[in-house]
Copies of this chain bind each other. A is one copy, B any other.
Amino acid sequence: MVNGYKIRTDLALEARESVGEANGEMRGVEIEESYSEKAEVKMTKVIIHTKNAARDLGKPMGTYITLEAPAMLEADEDYHREISELMARELDDIIPNSEKEQAVLVVGLGNREVTADALGPNVVDNLFITRHVILEYGKAAYNRTKMNLVSSIVPGVMAATGMETAEIVKGVVEQTRPDVVIVIDALAARSTKRLNRTIQITNTGIHPGSGVGNHRNALTKESLGVPVIAIGVPTVVDAATIVSDALEKAPYSGEEPKVFAELNNMYVTSKDIDATIKRLSFMISEAINIALDGEFEEDKV
């Protein structure tokens, strides 16, 4: 909280930084850090083990993997395949029973019409969808003996559908009975420094009230009945948060600035957000394609 305004962040990493010393230990929270030279990615795994820690951080209990890759900000001839591969391994780890063949529903949240919010729909556009083919022709259609059934949905935003995202996803899950749901969403960060270069993977799903706040009801194991893995990239910062942060760094005495009211419903994003979203969404869809391809698991054995 700064000046009465709640700090809005979808990143567990930022939540942790905001409550205590970034390098200190916190009861009930386990942290692992590693660095991949090849992919130039710093990986931080935050595991929230206790309810107390969850309350303190404002994040549900579970695992949060954060990949920070400054290279994601830049174009690359091969769209950073090495980051996709690293991400695929993390996905494979966090998806329950990923060693077995299973049915996976990928949900692309967000608004295709708003560039900074189009990450989810764009990721889904490049997925390798197999469910309908396998159900009709069998795995033989792909010359494979083992293959995941992959399906996807872009539910759209409430202003366009008149329905909660959770209503739509729940309906689809009940009809098609996937073993696991993967949800992709653009996130809100607390500061611009992690924008567009950080990927968060968590097994806690999507929770109401966090992030940009357009998706009201939860998409979690509790609400959907199956494990929910959420993949997010911060692409915007709340405008009010940026001003709060600036004011905090340059303390002032006296009244709270009226600028906050005007900033309500405004967000900050980067000028090249179109190229960024295109690059990020391709990278994530490739990571999911690699992770869900049955050969991936066998390769590891």
Contact of A175 among B149, B170, B268 (CB under 8 A): B170
B167 touches A272 (CB 8 A): no
Q: Is there an interface contact between A168 and B153, defined as CB atoms closer than 8 Å? A: yes
The answer to whether A246 touches B249, judged by C-beta atoms less than 8 angstroms apart, is: no
- Say whether, besides A153-B161, A176-B163, A242 and B271 are in contact (CB < 8 Å): no
* In the complex, chain B residues whose CB is within 8 Å of the CB of A111: 274
Number of copies: 4
Residues of B within 8 A of A249 (CB): 257-259
Let me know if A245 is at the binding interface, CB within 8 A. Answer: yes
Bound CA span A252–B259, Å: 16
A245 CA / B266 CA spacing, docked (Å): 15
A171 within 8 A of B: yes
B-binding segment of A12-20, A24-32, A62-70, A126-134: A126-134
Question: Once the chains are docked, how many angstroms separate the CA of A25 from the CA of B275?
Answer: 46
* Chain A positions 226 through 256: 1 when the CB is less than 8 Å from some CB of chain B, otherwise 0: 0000000000000100110111011110111
Q: At the interface, yes or no: A120 with Cβ under 8 Å from chain B? A: no
Is A267 part of the contact surface with B, judged by Cβ < 8 Å?
A: yes
Chain B residue at minimum C-beta to C-beta distance from A129: B162
Output the least CB separation between A272 and chain B (Å).
7
Q: In the bound complex, how far is the Cα of B130 from the Cα of A158, in angstroms?
A: 10
Known contacts A167-B176, A176-B171, A192-B263; decide if A152 and B159 are in contact (CB<8 Å): no
Chain A interface size, under 10 / 10 to 19 / 20 to 34 / 35 or more: 35 or more
Closest to A195 in B: B266
- Chain B residues lying within 8 Å of A252, measured Cβ to Cβ, are 247, 250-252
Indicate if A273 sits at the interface (CB-CB under 8 A). Answer: yes
Check if B171 sits within 8 Å of A173, measured CB to CB: yes
A151 interfacial by beta-carbon distance below 8 Å: yes
CB–CB A162/B266 < 8 A: no
Among B152, B161, B250, B273, contact of A254 (Cβ-Cβ < 8 Å): B250
30 inter-chain pairs at a CB distance below 8 angstroms, sorted by A residue, are A113-B115, A114-B273, A114-B274, A125-B160, A129-B161, A130-B162, A131-B162, A131-B163, A132-B161, A132-B164, A154-B156, A163-B175, A167-B175, A168-B172, A170-B171, A170-B175, A171-B175, A191-B262, A192-B239, A239-B268, A242-B259, A243-B243, A245-B259, A246-B257, A247-B247, A250-B254, A266-B270, A267-B268, A267-B271, A268-B268
Given contacts A153-B163, A263-B268, A265-B270, 6 further A-B pairs with CB under 8 A are A113-B115, A125-B160, A132-B163, A171-B173, A172-B172, A249-B259
